[in-house]
Structure 1
Amino acid sequence: VSRYGLMTGQYPFRARPNTWSRRATIDQARVTLPSFLKSRGYNTAMVGKWHLGFDEDGYDKPLPGGPVDRGFDSFFGIRASTDIPPYFYIRNDQAVMPPTLEIEANNSEGWSPIQGAFWRKGGISPDLQLKDVLPRFTNEAIQVIETHASSQSQEPLFLYLAYPAPHTPWLPDESFIGKSGAGMYGDFTMMVDAMIGRVLKALELSGMQEDTLVILSSDNGPVWYEHDVERFDHDSSGGLRGMKADAWEAGHRMPFIVRWPGRIRSGSVSQQTISFTDILPTAAAMIGQALPEGAAPDGVSFFDVLAGRRPEASPVREHLVVPSGNGTLTIRKGPWKLIQGLGSGGFSKPSRIKASEGGPRGQLYHLNQDPSESINLYMEHPELVKELEQQLKAIQNDSTKA
């Protein structure tokens, strides 16, 4: 659901998008990142994984509610992940070839069910091979860049490249197998890195590099169970607790890498807390345009951080709300983080824990002092817990942002 926040600037818990549904999840009237940029003169293109729903009533007819109906001029990609059927390419709002064939489910021996070369059984189109999806998307993105450069258009370009990797299935090309020294996942991650490198090289060769802002990030944390961390002696979450879908930090604290030649100093680091919901208002500030009333209701611009005008001691956000996989809400304010409930809230077990009489009903952590969330301070700071609970309730009940 994080990509819903990216596209709309609205907290996903307000709309409760069902990304497994075969229906569009973004309301047609809502301002999106691409629709706003398009209205301000941008050529808007998307390549990759949409996963925000189409109105699917057959694959031999248009698929409404997708990228080209939510602000993109063009789209080439897939409906969801490369482990969620049906598997077929979509050009704009039409299946390139319908998923008329069937593919059996697959798992990798020695791996957990949703790791390795894992995919689900379902329909697949004759022109799609799962191992070819990543290179195909890279080629399509490069074509968007080259076409834009060769047209000498005065329109600026917004390209959203949403790789379905290194999500499962891990399918490194033969040329990467064994190259990383870090096994199957390492090889696949190396391949993803190489694909990103090809896109950046295309920007350079097109002459667009010096005038392009590039953002690289991820939609959620890794799926590594405790026994995997012990088995491989490697913790890809960097010591943060939990994994994908959890309310703990490893579920949602992601790298956010930005390159903007001549504007952002190479190697500089910011500790500001931001969210995907902030991309839309930041884009508006960057191009000097006001957002329409009601757009990006939960977003805050961090353009001044990118421009080097915001001191680290001055937080961009007063607070941030994050939902976990099972709907547990978390509020972050400064170094303090309150989780509404016990347990992980996601993939780590147990997801939920029933509160015991006289014990904590939630989790409170001081992230500056305890980034691994090992010391629950819920019982030690009742007034702070009450304050954060009231703030979270007020945010939830704010009908002006629905």
Structure 2
Amino acid sequence: MLKKFTAFFLALAACALVAFQPEKPAAKTPNIVLFFIDDLGYGDLSVTGALGYRTPNLDKMAAEGTRFTNFMAAQAVCSASRAALLTGCYPNRLGIAGAFGPNAKMGLNPKEETIAELVKAQGYATGIFGKWHLGSEQEFLPLQQGFDEYYGVPYSHDMWPLHPWQERAKYPPLHWIEGNTPGKEIKNLEDASELTPKITERATAFIRKNKNKPFFLYVPHPLPHVPLAASAKFRGKSERGIFGDVLMELDWSVGEIMKELKAQGLDNNTLVIFTSDNGPWLNYGDHAGSAGGFREGKGTSFEGGQREPCIMRWPGVVPAGRVSNKLLSTLDVLPTIVKLTGAKLPKEKIDGYDFTDLLKGDDTKTPRETLLYYYRKNSLEAVRKGDWKLVFAHPGRIYEGQLPGQNGQPGPAPEDFQYPKALYHLTRDPGERYDVQAQNPEIVAELEKIAEAAREDLGDDLQQKQGKNVRPVGKVNP
């Protein structure tokens, strides 16, 4: 009998120990999900004023997180913008400009350290599903840049023989890539309509596969870059035509990935970032998005080219329903992720700032005060400090005054318009319409000093000046 009582009380004691054990502490480092949408304009979400369709999942994300209204791409074109996001460097510091074509024998230098490489050293699983566009030769593909998994397209899906510009008819066939291996060819718009659903399927599978370890999931959706294509489930569903259909499907994709996070019990320990690589390609007319009232669009250093919608969500950490007007850039994503994950910063110089405190709700912090607007090969076209933006005289693309195209055919967008030097105050004049340099010579002088330092550091083709701290682009090893 004594043995039975002893066993009984030992069992009770064991139960008590289990019952009063503290809950497992939350993981010290968050999962990261980073959406990078192609050619999405500032005004292309319903939460930023889109008409003719709604983006309810992104609206919900904004209500549950923080919307950053002064968030800038580092450059208003595909490859350069992506290089900046993944390295925290101005793309011209890395020798990268424009958008790599499918036959380019160059890419992001493998010596550069990407977000994926930095967090992988911390034990993170890393995956990219979508558009890469940082070099299509194998030595530049994601598996050589810190990613464990890759499924997507190597460059923009208009770089194929069906492009309406005749010179692109010589492009090679476009294939999906799995890891380092080309797969199914994307031959037509029906094939292109699989882009968003397939990427979504692979992204959710990655979450399930890595639910028991920290992960970095990069989802650079190829759409709504032209040519536009939506799956049968969304085709014809919006009042905005095919562009609205595509946006509805992209919003669905975000919703599916967010649902998977919740299903796997990861929602409260995941930072989700949603933004775009550059503004809308406006000369495509009804197949292009909206810059939300900002001047010009993709391929320009005006706000319509570089100011992007940005939402960040992390329940219990990032304040919900908040709007921040502080100046930030895609350059700042890498150092912030490094801080949150406990990773180490790259060995070489970067241009981003850690905005962790601001992200978590400390609005007294102003991590970034200035921004450089480079374009073309390495031309400094504007500088910004706070609300002031000084645009230098430069040749550039212009959409204003040009009749946009229709039904997937582009209208004209001349590249040699001569923009004059001008000073804008972006709080009073976000559309960059009123040159106030004559009234503010001291501001002009201050911004010109910032420009001179930038030219010493990074160079300036317009002044035929070589930068002292520019690193070489990756080139194919013969």
Interval of TM-score (by shorter of Structure 1 and Structure 2):
0.7 to 0.9
For the pair 1:265 / 2:344, whether they are aligned, the reply is no
Is there any run of 5+ residues in structure 1 with no aligned partner, and where? 56-62, 105-116, 118-127, 356-360
Which residue is equivalent to 1:20? 100
For residues 238-253 of structure 1, the aligned pairs below 5 Å read: 238-253=292-307
For residues 2-401 of structure 1, the aligned pairs below 5 Å read: 2-18=81-97, 19-21=99-101, 22-55=104-137, 63-85=138-160, 86-97=173-184, 103=187, 129-149=191-211, 152=212, 155-225=213-283, 228=285, 236-295=290-349, 297-311=350-364, 314-324=365-375, 327-342=379-394, 345=397, 351-354=415-418, 361-398=420-457, 399-400=468-469
SS at match of 2:324: coil
Shift of 1:30: 1.3
Question: Does the CA-based 8 Å contact 1:64-1:93 persist in structure 2?
Answer: no
Shift of 1:345: 4.4
Question: Does the CA-based 8 Å contact 2:340-2:356 persist in structure 1?
Answer: yes
**Quick one: which amino acid aligns to residue 293 of structure 1?**
K
Partners of 2:94 and 2:414 in 1: how far apart? 26
SS at match of 2:256: helix
CA pair 235-82 structure 1, distance change in 2 beyond 3 A: closer
Question: Does the CA-based 8 Å contact 1:138-1:195 persist in structure 2?
Answer: yes
Deviates more, 1:361-370 or 1:252-261: 361-370
Deviates more, 1:379-388 or 1:330-339: 379-388
Shift of 1:309: 2.4
Partners of 1:301 and 1:353 in 2: how far apart? 37
| Cα root mean square deviation, aligned | 2.5
Q: Structure with the greater relative contact order (CA < 8 A, sep ≥ 6): 1 or 2?
A: 2
Q: TM-score, normalised by structure 2?
A: 0.69
SS at match of 1:221: coil
Question: Does the CA-based 8 Å contact 2:301-2:374 persist in structure 1?
Answer: yes
Question: Does the CA-based 8 Å contact 1:24-1:66 persist in structure 2?
Answer: no
Question: Does the CA-based 8 Å contact 1:341-1:352 persist in structure 2?
Answer: no
Q: TM-score, normalised by structure 1?
A: 0.81
**Quick one: which amino acid aligns to residue 192 of structure 1?**
L
Encode CA deviations 1:143-172: one digit per residue, 9 max, x unaligned.
1011112xx3xx310000110011112112
Is there any run of 5+ residues in structure 2 with no aligned partner, and where? 1-79, 161-172, 401-412, 458-467, 472-478
Larger Rg: 2
SS at match of 1:384: helix
**Quick one: which amino acid aligns to residue 33 of structure 1?**
I
Matched residue count: 354
SS at match of 2:107: coil
Shift of 1:389: 2.2
Shift of 1:381: 3.0
**Quick one: which amino acid aligns to residue 223 of structure 1?**
W
Shift of 1:259: 0.8
Bigger strand share: 2
CA pair 325-180 structure 1, distance change in 2 beyond 3 A: farther
Partners of 2:417 and 2:235 in 1: how far apart? 41
Encode CA deviations 1:271-293: one digit per residue, 9 max, x unaligned.
11111111111111112344143
Question: Does the CA-based 8 Å contact 1:46-1:75 persist in structure 2?
Answer: yes
CA pair 395-342 structure 1, distance change in 2 beyond 3 A: closer
Partners of 1:8 and 1:235 in 2: how far apart? 27
Which residue is equivalent to 2:29? none
SS at match of 2:382: strand
Question: Does the CA-based 8 Å contact 1:26-1:52 persist in structure 2?
Answer: yes
SS at match of 1:176: coil
